Amino acid sequence: MKMKRFLALALTGSMIALSLAGCKDTKKAESSEGAETATVKQEESKASGDKTVITMMYSGTPADPDFETEILPGLVEKEFPNIKLEVTKLPDDQYYTALKTKLASGECPDIILVHPKYAGANGVINLAKAGYLEPLTDLKVLDKVGEGARDAFTYDGEIYGVGSNVSMLGTYFNKDMFEKHNLEIPKNWDEFLNCCKVLKEAGIQPIVMGDKDMYVMQFGLYQIAASKVYAKNLKFDDQLRTGETKFTDKDTWDEVISMYKTLYDEGYIDSSSLGLSAQQAIQKFVDGEAAMTFDHNGDKKSLCAKGAVDFERGYFPLPGNSADEELWASMSIGATPAIYSGSKHIEESKAILEKWFDGESEIWKSMVDMGNIVVTYGYGSENVDEFWKPFMDLYNEGKSSYWCNQGWPSGTENEMEALFSEAIGGQGTTVDDIVNGMQAKFEELYTE
């Protein structure tokens, strides 16, 4: 998924954290009847003629139409006539900066987007540990999600998010270009390199990436790592914590970095990538200026928008495997809304989430029908769109791994991005420098 993303969040001082943590149990007790209490408040608000304003802040690239900013507010007001939902959606890096500032000031929106486990600046474990999130353990809708989805948003016995969908990283491609040059979806790394070679020799830019927004580097690296690292050792990240594995281990992350860097060395990824934003790269793909781009499923609407030329899109897992290895996909439980523990409207916010994620409401159906997500229960879970089928087949076969940074202390991925940026920017940074830097940063940040 929407695609944990990923600047390090310097959590604020211990006084704030302790204060929030101290009131955690009280708030939990007060909110035990979430949706019912909210209904009473709605009736009171109706009698007075006032609307309760709930604020929500999300990250991602806006689509046209955009579900969170354009569709969701009206549907919420239809379900809850006395609630007005105000939504702000920011590009990922801006979101993390804004989140840090708003948490520090105590003026955070009622509802925010969080990622599973340790993933990035809004990883649920770090935010819950600091006391910034309201437990949602009492929501009835949690009975509908799987154990893995509950676990992804659990800290210290409490659940802080509703894991309703699967997010995936993949390769969007121009089907028309592939067919014109007799190219098929590659099943291993050599076949993928050959696709790039054929396209480049035909005068077509094989891949465009917006590396100015460095988090997008994760979109390719994590896909390769799924087959090269986690297919061979799914506990690699757990063992980083015990010291049994290291980023510097031979034929693990060194191979991942080297393989991805090859795409830059050969000119298969646009040489101007460090000067392009994520949005600019999406536009170049949409306008037919490149055959492929790496991105998550949440950006499908933007990547399938009408551009300067018309063409059919497809989506496949980047095959980091050799011909004699299995292909694995990079997939995880997707990001989800959570509630700020300092909100003055906790019960109303809970009522919105209860309705939104019930699997059958108009809000849920509208979200699913946007086509950007793959849900794991309720309406839309039985018939998987053909667009996602290659991924879901691997997922159901047990051939997928979570997005890597979900297992790392927040900030490890930023070190990887910064060093990789130096390497492709001609600053002389080597593969060994990158994996050594990742290991050093992991050891610096890991405190448990």
The predicted pLDDT at position 136 comes to 98
Q: What does the block give as tokens for 56?
A: 């929500």
3-class secondary structure, 314: strand
- Rounded to 10°, the helix 431-445/412-424 angle is 160
Inside any domain, residue 241: yes
Contact (CB, 8 A) for 78 and 362: yes
Domain contains 47: no
On whether both 316 and 339 belong to a single domain, the answer is no
Q: What is the pLDDT of residue 410?
A: 85
The pLDDT assigned to 49 comes to 57
| Inter-residue contact 401 to 235 (CB < 8 Å) | no
pLDDT (tens digit per residue) in 376-428: 899 998 888 899 999 999 988 889 998 998 899 989 999 999 999 999 999 99
Give the model's pLDDT for residue 41.
Answer: 45
- Does residue 64 lie in a domain region? yes
Q: Quote the CA–CA distance of 350 and 338 in Å, as a whole number.
A: 9
Same domain, 418 and 315: yes
Strands 52-59 and 111-114: parallel
pLDDT at residue 270, as a whole number: 86
Q: Is residue 116 part of a domain?
A: yes
| Pair (359, 216) in one structural domain | no
Q: Are residues 253 and 146 in the same domain?
A: no
Question: Could you tell me which residues come within 8 angstroms of residue 366 by beta carbon, excluding any fewer than 6 positions away?
Answer: 67, 71, 72, 75
First-residue to last-residue Cα distance in the chain: 27
Same-domain pairing of 255 and 350? no
pLDDT per residue over 36-55, tens digit each? 444 444 444 443 358 999 99
Question: Tell me, what CATH number does 367's domain have?
Answer: 3.40.190.10
Both 227 and 121 in one domain: the answer is: no
- Choosing from 379, 395, 412, the residue where a domain stops is 379
Mean pLDDT, contiguous 10-residue spans, the chain (448 residues): 36 34 39 43 48 95 89 98 97 91 97 90 92 97 88 94 94 98 98 98 98 97 98 94 97 98 97 95 98 95 95 98 97 93 98 98 96 89 89 90 90 96 97 98 90
Q: Is residue 2 part of a domain?
A: no
Q: Are residues 217 and 249 in the same domain?
A: yes
**Domains in the chain, number:** 2
Based on the domain organization, do 203 and 341 belong to the same domain? no
Residue range of the domain that includes 242: 167-332+403-445
- Residue 171: what are its φ and ψ, rounded to 5°? -115, 110
Q: Which two tokens stand for residue 244?
A: 């049994």
Q: Do 206 and 224 share a structural domain?
A: yes
Same domain membership, residue 356 and residue 222 = no
Q: Is residue 387 part of a domain?
A: no
Report DSSP state, residue 78.
H
Residue 185 within a domain: yes
Q: 155 and 173 share a domain?
A: no
pTM for the whole thing?
Answer: 0.74
**Same-domain status, 344 and 327:** no
In a domain, 44, yes or no: no
The owner of tokens 């492929």 is 292
Q: Could you give the CA distance from residue 332 to residue 165 in angstroms, rounded to a whole number? A: 9
Question: Which token pair is 40?
Answer: 């009473």
Q: Is the peptide bond before 65 cis (omega within 30 degrees of 0)?
A: yes
